[in-house]
Amino acid sequence: MGTTVNSFPKPLTTIFCLLTTFFIIFSMFNKLKQFKDLKDQAKQMETKLATVISEGEAAWGKVKVTMNGNRDMIGCQIDPSMTSDLPKLQEALCEAHKDAIKKMQFKLAKKIQEMGGMDMLKNFGG
């Protein structure tokens, strides 16, 4: 014959429900703290990665695009001789951007590895 929560006296059932609720709330706060810690760590990583700079070029160096580790374009240099042919300039800008991203991916992978890689997230498992 099994005992269920409903067979306990009312005060014990109330205490059991309160303890269960407290445990659930405590677990939620613990997860929220872990989430906040992870968010803070991601913000620190974003700040560090923003310092990584990559430059891509196209059209034999006549078009250059500079971007940071957050993949924000922070600079663009265009040789004046490129301004006479708009389609060629547009294509060169796209190529320089792709080149900068390709170089940035390599640099970011190296930087993340230096910062501890994905091991730094191991404490935030479920």
CATH code for the domain of 63? 3.30.1310.10
How many Cβ atoms from other residues are within 10 Å of residue 64's Cβ? 20
What is the structure's pLDDT at 121? 53
pTM above 0.75, yes or no: no
31 and 68, same domain (yes or no): no
Same domain for 14 and 42, yes or no, is yes
Q: How many domains does the chain have?
A: 2
Residue 40 pLDDT > 50, yes or no?
Answer: yes
% of the chain at pLDDT higher than 90 = 37
Domain enclosing residue 113, as ranges: 52-119
pLDDT in the model for residue 124: 47
Is 3 part of any domain?
no
In this structure, are 115 and 56 located in the same domain? yes
Residues 95 and 80 in one domain: yes
Cα 125 from Cα 5, distance rounded (Å): 32
Q: In this predicted model, what pLDDT tens digit does every residue of 58-74 receive, in sequence order?
A: 999 999 999 998 888 99
